[in-house]
Amino acid sequence: MKTVGDLGEDPLIAQLCGGLAVSDEVLVGPGDDCAVIRDGRTLTLLKTDAVVEGIHFLPNAPAKKVGWKAVARVLSDFAAMGGEPGELLITIALSRETPLRWVKELYRGMSQCLELHGGVIVGGETTSLPAGAPTMISVAGRGKVTKRRLVTRSGGKAGDSVFVTGRLGGSIKGKHLSFTPRLEEVAWLTENFRLRAMMDLSDGLAKDLPRLAKMSGCGFQIERDQIPRSPGATIDEALSDGEDYELLFTISARSADRLEKEWSDRFPKLSLTCIGSLTTEESDSLSGGWDHFTSPS
Amino acid sequence: MKTVGDLGEDPLIAQLCGGLAVSDEVLVGPGDDCAVIRDGRTLTLLKTDAVVEGIHFLPNAPAKKVGWKAVARVLSDFAAMGGEPGELLITIALSRETPLRWVKELYRGMSQCLELHGGVIVGGETTSLPAGAPTMISVAGRGKVTKRRLVTRSGGKAGDSVFVTGRLGGSIKGKHLSFTPRLEEVAWLTENFRLRAMMDLSDGLAKDLPRLAKMSGCGFQIERDQIPRSPGATIDEALSDGEDYELLFTISARSADRLEKEWSDRFPKLSLTCIGSLTTEESDSLSGGWDHFTSPS
């Protein structure tokens, strides 16, 4: 019998979404960082994202950091659409043996992230798990974006310059629990530039860049040695580790110079690197990156 | 060390929500069936709800019914606020060994429920689980309601008549996987009557009625032998089994007669029963009902 592990994550999602009903109000459905719904003059972003013990965090990770991560992942997706956070719903699935203190710290981490970056918790759910089952925190929520600032994965054009923020690889050493969702950077970028396509890097550049290029109907070529690496990370790790939560975006080549200059004035502490371009031709091949159902455990 | 099992579900939620930031746009926060957000002239409902293998469904339950249940639970919550469903996000957490066929059937069940009752799936997420961990399906979504039709848990007044739809108890025999969210009934009720307080019965009348009464600042008295029971169910089972997904609501005593008369013309196949009233005095005591963290497994 064929299992989800035989198929892999992207083909599974494609199969599941194939038969879904559609609605005129839904501007962007499954496949982008968020769904986008037309609500009169504004656009609503909808997103859900879960972290699971043993997959996204280790049992001994500090609860406050786990809470931060659970919320920051969703905020990072709002940023990736050009938007800002609104209201969030929190689902925590716990075994009865979970210390009360752990859950309180979890909420403290979530609240800290929201105080810094915006968004409020308006509800949620607690559910029990069979003894020994891994804790899971699922965060769903609503964000908003104006039409002018909306950036999807599918707007890239051949010839666009491809940029990434920050440095990639080695997130498992700590960044994956304490990263900053790039909301401030996105607010500035969408105010001052016309970004063509954007996503946040969660499964590794090797997995995510092909997704963006494919949705834009393009190929890509990158300079592997241009990829900005975290201290100590190899090029392969920068391509494949995942959980970078940095921005990957494209912009017309003629805007690229002005962007690089103004960026370094505005965000001197965060690197911005042009790693290549979108093409009409077949892509460079990239292997690696994280697939929930086929990557080695 | 104190665990969540020592504390119980309602006190846990109260503790977690105590420290949360609030927003002027949030009309109803944690504690009701849905959160309610003011969006210009309309009201947005936000809800998230999860089903877990071994808790909400057995490993051998048909996947299509599990999908139906996962979605219908959220639709039941939109109904309980007087609203209707909008866009949903689906999170499925699976081990790699899950048969592809199972997941496809799950989606088929969700789609069938939405085709019948309204609402569209606009996105979601798949995540892997460590081997052997129970499958979990979390459904988050947005509904809408007009100001005139909105019914919270907190609007009940002493003297109100308390009604329940359908028959209670014994849901585990099958109804919990195939129930009908009471959207049609709610649309009619809120069009023709001013309901004071409402919720859907998910943890059993013995647990849920005290919640509604408490949020309305009232006590209650009920006629135990008036409680409408499923065939074969005892009064205790009708009070405690849970997962009835019927409506529990209150209405002024003087509207109760007209309601009973018009209801039986409009919905001849679904019983509506007055089981008692809200009071100013201390409540009847009820024990039983489902608590995720303290009920016997």
**Does residue B3 belong to any structural domain of this protein?**
no
B296 pLDDT band (50/70/90 cuts)? Answer: low
| Residues B190, B120 within the same domain | no
Exposure of B38 by Cβ count < 10 A (0-12 exposed, 13-18 middle, 19+ buried)? middle
**Residue B245 · residue B200 · CB < 8 Å:** yes
Per-window interface: B 39-68 vs A, CB < 8 A = 39-40, 44, 46-50, 52, 54-55
- Tell me A227's DSSP state: S
Whichever domain contains B257, its CATH number is 3.90.650.10
Q: Does A112 contact B at CB distance below 8 Å?
A: no
**Does residue A68 belong to any structural domain of this protein?**
yes
Rounded to an integer, the average pLDDT of B203-228 is 95
B238 pLDDT band (50/70/90 cuts)? Answer: very high
Q: What is the pLDDT of residue A42?
A: 86
Q: What is the pLDDT of residue A296?
A: 61
Rounded to an integer, the average pLDDT of B115-128 is 93
| Residues A256, A174 within the same domain | yes
Structure tokens at B7: 């504390």
Range of the domain at B68: 22-145
B66 to chain A, closest Cα gap in Å: 15
- Among residues A98, A113, A145, the one where a domain terminates is A145
**Does residue A14 belong to any structural domain of this protein?**
no
Half-sphere exposure of B35 (CA within 13 A, CB side): 32
| Residues B194, B103 within the same domain | no
| Residues B140, B104 within the same domain | yes
How does pLDDT run across A49-92, given as a tens digit for each residue?
999 999 999 999 999 999 999 999 999 999 999 999 999 999 99
| Residues A102, A171 within the same domain | no
Number of domains, chain B: 2
**CA-CA distances (angstroms) from residue A116 to A89, A177, B246?**
18, 16, 41
| Residues B126, B213 within the same domain | no
Whichever domain contains B110, its CATH number is 3.30.1330.10
Average pLDDT, chain B: 93
For residue B4, give the nearest of A5, A46, A96 by CB distance: A96
Q: What is the pLDDT of residue A230?
A: 97
| Residues A31, A140 within the same domain | yes
Q: What is the pLDDT of residue A285?
A: 72
How does pLDDT run across B164-196, given as a tens digit for each residue?
999 999 999 999 999 999 999 999 999 999 999
**Does residue B14 belong to any structural domain of this protein?**
no
B42 to chain A, closest Cα gap in Å: 11
B29 to chain A, closest Cα gap in Å: 5
A17 to chain B, closest Cα gap in Å: 8
A255 to chain B, closest Cα gap in Å: 32
**Residue A111 · residue A143 · CB < 8 Å:** no
Low-confidence residues in chain A, pLDDT < 50 = none
How does pLDDT run across A107-128, given as a tens digit for each residue?
999 999 999 999 999 998 888 8
Q: Considering only alpha carbons, which residue of chain A is nearest residue B8?
A: A96
How does pLDDT run across B128-160, given as a tens digit for each residue?
888 888 999 999 999 999 999 999 999 999 999
Mutate to test the interface with B, among A125, A135, A243 (most CBs of B within 10 A): A125
Taking CB atoms and an 8 Å cut-off, how many pairs form between chains A and B? 259
- Bridge partner list, A251: A161
| Residues B108, B182 within the same domain | no
| Residues A117, A189 within the same domain | no
* Residue B114: pLDDT over 90: yes
- 8 Å CB contact of A7 and B44: no
Alpha-carbon distance of A264 to A244, in angstroms, equals: 20
**Does residue B31 belong to any structural domain of this protein?**
yes
Mutate to test the interface with A, among B34, B127, B200, B294 (most CBs of A within 10 A): B127
Please give the ipTM for the structure prediction.
0.88
Distance of CA A226 to the CA centre of its chain: 22
**Does residue B287 belong to any structural domain of this protein?**
no
For residue A21, give the nearest of B50, B114, B125 by CB distance: B114
